Structure 1
Amino acid sequence: MLIKNASIQQPDGYLNKTPLFQFLLLSTVFALWSAAAALNDVLITQFKAIFHLSNFASALVQSAFYGAYFLVAIPAAMVVKKTSYKLAILLGLALYIFGCLMFFPASVAGTYTMFLAAIFCIAIGLSFLETSCNTYSAMIGESNRATLRLNISHTINAMGYILGLLLGKHLIFQEGVNIQQQMVTLSGAELEAFKAMVLQQTLEPYKWLVAVIATVAVLIAVTEYPSCKVAGAIKDKQPSLRQTLAYLAGNVRFFKGVGAQFAYVGMQVAVWSFTIRLALELDGNMVEHDAANYLLYSFIMYFLGKLLANYLFTRTSQENVLMGYSAIGFACLMYVALVPNFSAVWVAVGTSALFAPCWATIFASTLQSVDTRYTETVGGFVVMAIIGGAIVPAIQGFVADRVGMQNSFVVSAVCFALVFGYFLSEKKFKRTQTLVASAA
């Protein structure tokens, strides 16, 4: 190994201090998977035009992407449990590269199904990354700073959304060209040639991603990482999957956390999937290249929301911060759904700032609701909740096909209300625990 780790492993799996280089390198992986997610939001608009899809059918991009998380999260958790976080990360990066390379035959085949298969393969790799990296970021340092570390990693994750969207906007969308209007003017061989050219453009950002992913993989391979496992775990003394399931069956806090994560991911993915479509619907003269700016602004707001949340966490409890974010977010999404003018797009953009601390805080809170012996497997179960990103956008797309894109944002508003309920429940639980401890 070229880069050593000097931290001391504690019996509960945490470290006595966070190894800075290892933590920052680990956090760059968060940006890699968010870049892929941002590109999906561009592809939804592109594929809807090229393949003449309904809003529901175009949302299947997200269903393929996040459906893979649901299927692979537990196998990925088993890899972490039996081997190491580092090996699971390297395997995830290799699968990510393979999925990106699948865009080359997909662009030649020119079928929606083939592109969905490529996206599904990318997501298999990302499932390994999210299952391992989210838990690892929480574990790689002092236990009392787990939520802070995870929020820092997700601040870098927010930068990946911005970079991914910029790649999609400038390498996939054509400036000043409305694809749907352009296709109306073409027919026969000219139309087919235009479609082939547009699909070839989808390759460009993935070429860049492959180079970056390979570089990060090499750096991680030559860096020594701590195991961050409970003492005795390497000797196969951890609970089996069956024992873990039996333990979790009576853990209400765990199930509430998984439900909140499902609602949050579904809401975030749905709002971002349809922001470009919302802008195009409310301004008939806008083209895709320009409408993508509003998604870019959304990702910038997401990043700023992360910074603000990290500050607020030092002033009050995470439950208070998330309850405030969720209440304001619910009101904003209701505005987006019900106010019929372009200001709704700007409010949707601003709502992204309120998404910012949700994933990391829900993830860390759910991990803290279980004994550390179950951490690796429980991390996989929480990642499975990402299936919300496959289901909620499809539901919102289905609703949009019937009542209009703008009114469909009520679906996402309901999800924010559920997130509020989760953090209200967590606040009540911790208040009760404090009272019991003080009484003892």
Structure 2
Amino acid sequence: MPQPTVQLADGYLNRTPIFQFILLSCLFPFWGCAASLNDILITQFKSVFALSDFASALVQSAFYGGYFLIAIPASLVIRSSSYKLAIILGLTLYIIGCALFYPAARMATYTMFLAAIFAISIGLSFLETAANTYSAMIGHRDYATLRLNISQTFYPVGALMGIVLGKYLVFDEGDSLESRMASMTAQQIHAFRLTMLENTLEPYKYLIMVLLGVLLLFMLTRFPHCKPQAVQRHAAPGMAETLRYLAGNRRFCRGVLAQFLYVGLQVAVWSFTIRLALTLGANNERHASNFMIYSFIGFFIGKFIANCLMTRCNVQKVLIAYSVIGVAMLAYVMLVPNFSAVYAAVGVSALFGPCWATIYTGTLKTVENRYTEVAGAVIVMSIVGAAIVPALQGYVSDYLGSMQRSFGVSLLCFAFVGYYFWGELRHQERRRTALPATAQGKF
């Protein structure tokens, strides 16, 4: 007889319900797919709408700005109802956002596309706020980071799927878009731009069909509540009290800043890898998009290796090493003026994998149980770094006239992430030193 699933007082479970955990983990590819399609859209919109690097990066600002605005409302939904309801709402809003690409393509304005992307991000904010915390809690507390890292392993699968869909459904064969438009008349350019915008609809058609199936599965499946019993018995703390508590928690604040910069540097590198390849000699957009495929394969492999290393070695030491190597590779991207810099940018992706989940669960563990839902939402809000850092990197690229040198922005972010993990390692060592010998043995 399998052991029954029992919810413990802190909201965690005595064991992980496998089917529900797998279904929950299957959500993670969906925001990976949406995020990687943004990398395709940035390249497509830059040429079609004749944008600067800064303006094209506003795709990410619209996308991740939604996370910042909606994460707290999503946490309130979770606190007043359940993780499952927040997920169902997120999937529904995601579908609506994808559907808005149809009027956006008809109107053919950059602003309308940004509005559709923002609508998708609202749904994804509900999904991520619920799924990240839920994945950490749907089992024993001691394995929270491992569970979230396993769920996050599905992210590059979705990211890879988004790039492949974009490569074959949005980009086409032939010379680059800029090269082709250079020999067209104004009327031909207008018709060509409309055709290219129609191509952006294709990936979202398939996404809508898959999302409807997943939504039905979630509606029909029972999920554990995973709420701390103390919160269920007594009134939950007010928002003002919660935010005061979180603001006064220094480790929590450092974790939020590290997550802000980590997500920002990850999205900045991925946003401009295709542009970097085109700048350094790729034949066209479809050819350049191959390097994003390699990036997500590297992301997956790097995450798998890190998961193995973190079961045998100190987690913080593994991630400090990843950060140091990442800074060195980004310095190579900045300073070496040939196509090998593109491969270095691809290599950086292999170092991203374990950072998000480790920062997330480590930061969440610094707060008391009754603040968990809002704390998780605040960490998700730090994703707004992806709205700011890529735009800043785009601005630096325009200002310096060098796509390569702009990767210095990502380098500085990775350096801080490494510094954060070093600080966490020092905290662990101080705590271990302060414990009596008997307690150390229990760790």
Q: TM-score range by the shorter chain?
A: over 0.9
Any stretches of 5+ residues in structure 1 without a counterpart? none
| Residue 300 (str. 1) matches residue 281 (str. 2) | no
How many angstroms apart in 2 are the aligned matches of 1:240 and 1:6? 34
Q: Equivalent residues in 2 for 1:24-39 (5 A)?
A: 24-39=22-37
Instruction: Indicate the residue corresponding to 2:67 in structure 1.
Output: 69
Q: Is the alpha carbon distance of 1:195 and 1:316 closer, same or farther for their aligned partners in structure 2, counting shifts above 3 Å?
A: same
Maintained 8 Å contact 1:6/1:19? no
One-letter code aligned to 2:370: R
Q: Deviations over 1:307-354 (max 9, x none)?
A: 001100111111011101001001100110111111100011011010
Maintained 8 Å contact 2:230/2:370? no
Q: Deviations over 1:388-437 (max 9, x none)?
A: 00000000000001221001001000000000010011011111111111
Instruction: Indicate the residue corresponding to 1:193 in structure 2.
Output: 191
Instruction: Indicate the residue corresponding to 1:162 in structure 2.
Output: 160
Match of 1:424 among 419, 422, 442: 422
How many angstroms apart in 1 are the aligned matches of 2:27 and 2:187? 43
How many angstroms apart in 2 are the aligned matches of 1:389 and 1:343? 26
Shift of 1:373: 1.3
Instruction: Indicate the residue corresponding to 2:352 in structure 1.
Output: 355
Shift of 1:236: 5.5
Paired residues, number: 435
Maintained 8 Å contact 2:136/2:147? yes
Instruction: Indicate the residue corresponding to 2:249 in structure 1.
Output: 251
Match of 2:307 among 310, 313, 320: 310
| Residue 19 (str. 1) matches residue 17 (str. 2) | yes
Shift of 1:251: 0.8
Q: Is the alpha carbon distance of 1:236 and 1:144 closer, same or farther for their aligned partners in structure 2, counting shifts above 3 Å?
A: same
How many angstroms apart in 2 are the aligned matches of 1:272 and 1:415? 14
How many angstroms apart in 1 are the aligned matches of 2:33 and 2:247? 35
Shift of 1:266: 0.4
| Residue 291 (str. 1) matches residue 318 (str. 2) | no
Shift of 1:438: 2.1
Instruction: Indicate the residue corresponding to 1:101 in structure 2.
Output: 99
Shift of 1:7: 1.5
One-letter code aligned to 1:103: F
Shift of 1:177: 3.6
3-state SS, counterpart of residue 355 of structure 1: coil
Maintained 8 Å contact 1:330/1:413? yes
3-state SS, counterpart of residue 412 of structure 2: helix
One-letter code aligned to 1:397: G
| Residue 321 (str. 1) matches residue 318 (str. 2) | yes
How many angstroms apart in 2 are the aligned matches of 1:200 and 1:233? 49
CA RMSD of superposed structures (Å)? 1.2
Shift of 1:6: 4.8
How many angstroms apart in 2 are the aligned matches of 1:343 and 1:188? 37
Pick which of 424-433 and 42-51 moved more. Answer: 424-433
Match of 1:80 among 70, 74, 78: 78
Maintained 8 Å contact 1:327/1:417? yes
Q: Deviations over 1:28-70 (max 9, x none)?
A: 1010111000000000000000000000000000000011111
Shift of 1:235: 4.9
Instruction: Indicate the residue corresponding to 1:178 in structure 2.
Output: 176
Maintained 8 Å contact 1:177/1:289? no
Instruction: Indicate the residue corresponding to 1:219 in structure 2.
Output: 217
Q: Deviations over 1:272-299 (max 9, x none)?
A: 000000000011x510000000011000
Any stretches of 5+ residues in structure 2 without a counterpart? none
Maintained 8 Å contact 2:175/2:283? no
Q: Equivalent residues in 2 for 1:108-187 (5 A)?
A: 108-187=106-185
Identical columns (%)? 56
How many angstroms apart in 2 are the aligned matches of 1:141 and 1:213? 26
3-state SS, counterpart of residue 354 of structure 1: coil
Instruction: Indicate the residue corresponding to 1:382 in structure 2.
Output: 379
How many angstroms apart in 1 are the aligned matches of 2:429 and 2:227? 30
How many angstroms apart in 1 are the aligned matches of 2:300 and 2:249? 33
How many angstroms apart in 2 are the aligned matches of 1:54 and 1:249? 37
One-letter code aligned to 1:324: A
